[in-house]
Amino acid sequence: MKGNITTENTTEGGLKKGLGRMLSGENLFMSRYTANGACEIAFASSFPGTIVATELAKGETLICQKKAFMASTQEVELSMHFQKKLGKGLFGGEGFVMQKVTGPGMVFLEFDGHCVEYDLAPGERLVCDTGVVAAMEETCGFDIQSIKGLKNMMFGGEGLFETVVSGPGKVWLQSMTIEQLASLIVPYVPSK
């Protein structure tokens, strides 16, 4: 931080909203930074990855993976989003509870690894591994489908299911999840 900045920890919206944030992977309390004049503040990602800054219009909503929210302007609302279908929650890679950020305002999101943004046309479909969908606009459809072919399921290394995101709307994919990185590192960790 540089300049005259005051910091306040708050439940931001009350205890009920704070508990909702906890279920979606955030803390009960949020830090509010207020600039008193010309100031600078910087935030660092909690994992090697990409920070995405996006301006949300009033009522515009993004659905994000748990722990994606990093920071925002005060007007942005952070809440929970529930996957309503059993299959999506169990096999979609993100679980039943995700984060929901609603504008107006600027939001900063952190994604694992490299991030690629796609702008899908109405009806356009994007098929990808489960777990790589980091965020999407609320206008996007989200579903899972089983991988075709027994050989593909058994030897493809992708699991039994894949995610299908359909337009219209933007979707952000991440190149690697923290779980994938951990599984790649484990063989190199010495055991006593």
**Distance of alpha carbon 6 from alpha carbon 37, whole angstroms:** 11
> What confidence tens digit (pLDDT) does each residue in 151-184 have?
555 555 566 788 899 999 999 999 988 888 888 8
Q: Which CATH superfamily is domain 50-186 in?
A: Mitochondrial biogenesis AIM24 (3.60.160.10)
Q: Where are the domains of the chain?
A: 1-35, 50-186
Token pair, residue 145, equals: 């489908």
What is the model's pTM?
0.78
The yes-or-no verdict on residue 40 having pLDDT over 80 is: yes
The yes-or-no verdict on residue 94 having pLDDT over 70 is: no
pLDDT for residue 30: 75
